[in-house]
Amino acid sequence: MSRRTRNARPEAPGPSGFLVVDKPAGWTSHDVVDAARGWFGTQRVGHLGTLDPQATGVLPLAVRDATKLVPFVPGDPKVYRGTIRLGLETDTLDGDGEIVARHAGPLPDEPALQGVLATFLGEHEQVPPMYSAVKQGGVPLYRLARRGEEVERAPRKVRIDAFRLLAYRPPEVDVEVQCSPGTYVRVLAAEVGARLGCGGHLQSLRRLRSGPFDHAQATTPEVLAAEAERGEVEARLVRPVAALGMPALRLDAEDARRVLNGAALPQGGSVRMPGDRVAALDPTGALLAILEVSPDRRLRPLRVLRSLAAGS
Domains in the chain: boundaries: 13-73+213-239, 78-210, 246-311
- pLDDT class of 136 with cuts at 50, 70, 90: low
> What single-letter amino acid sits at 192?
V
Mean per-residue pLDDT of the chain? 89
Q: What is the pLDDT of residue 129?
A: 75
Q: What is the pLDDT of residue 141?
A: 61
Q: What is the pLDDT of residue 4?
A: 37
Angle in degrees, 0-180, between the axes of helices 185-196 and 110-118, rounded to the nearest 10: 130
Residue 307 gets which letter from DSSP? S
Average pLDDT over residues 229-235: 96
Percent share of the chain, pLDDT over 90: 74
pLDDT 10s digits, 245-264: 899 999 999 999 999 999 99
What residues are paired with 20 via a beta bridge? Answer: 60
Average pLDDT over residues 200-224: 97
Average pLDDT over residues 150-158: 80
Residues forming the active site: 52
Q: How far apart are CA 294 and CA 277, in angstroms?
A: 10
Domain 13-73+213-239 shares a fold with domain 246-311? no
- For 78-210, give the CATH class: alpha beta
pLDDT 10s digits, 71-112: 999 999 999 999 999 999 999 999 989 999 999 989 999 999
More confident residue, 132 or 69: 69
Length of the chain: 312
User: What's the topology of domain 246-311?
Assistant: 2.30.130
> What single-letter amino acid sits at 94?
D
Q: What is the pLDDT of residue 11?
A: 74
pTM for the predicted model, two decimal places = 0.88
Q: Domain 13-73+213-239 is classified in which CATH homologous superfamily? A: Pseudouridine synthase (3.30.2350.10)
Q: Is the pLDDT of residue 242 over 70?
A: yes
What residues are paired with 292 via a beta bridge? Answer: 277, 300
Average pLDDT over residues 256-277: 88
Q: Is the peptide bond before 13 cis (omega within 30 degrees of 0)?
A: no
